[in-house]
Amino acid sequence: MDLLLKAALGAAVVVILAALAKTRNYYIAGLVPLFPTFALIAHYIVGKGRTVDDLKTTILFGMWSIIPYFVYLATLYLMVDRLRLEASLAVATVGWLIAASILVSVWVRVHA
């Protein structure tokens, strides 16, 4: 049942994104992915199963995770004028993966 709820939440987000993209305020579709759907789930699971300090560490790491997302957006913004959309998305995703890998590597070293 828990997995079904998570899948339904994900599907709802996709439907909302598709609907918003067709409106006059299409740019709001860029805000929807930042709704903390999965963060709520993660924080609930960590908060119920671990200590408050562990939850606070998870929250702090989440704050730093904004950096890879910013790298993705900045890369995509720069690439959409230069490459096809699919290639731009791929390059931006690679940028996110590199930034996320660096973040995790630094986090592990600092918080070991």
Look at residue 68 and tell me whether its pLDDT is greater than 90. yes
Whether 45 and 53 have beta carbons less than 8 Å apart is answered as no
The answer to the question of residue 44 being in a domain is no
Mean predicted confidence (pLDDT) in 19-39: 87
Residue 34 pLDDT class (50, 70, 90 cuts): confident
Q: How many helices, marked H, and strands, marked E, lie in the chain?
A: 5, 0
pTM of the predicted structure, to 2 decimals: 0.80
The count of C-alpha atoms lying within 13 angstroms of the C-alpha of 84, restricted to the half-sphere facing its C-beta, is 2
The answer to the question of residue 70 being in a domain is yes
Residues 60 and 110 in one domain: yes
Alpha carbon distance 94, 80 (integer Å): 15
DSSP strand E in 1-112: where? none
Instruction: Specify the pLDDT at position 59.
Output: 96
Residue range of the domain that includes 21: 1-35
Q: What angle do CA 12, 87, 35 make, to 5 degrees?
A: 25
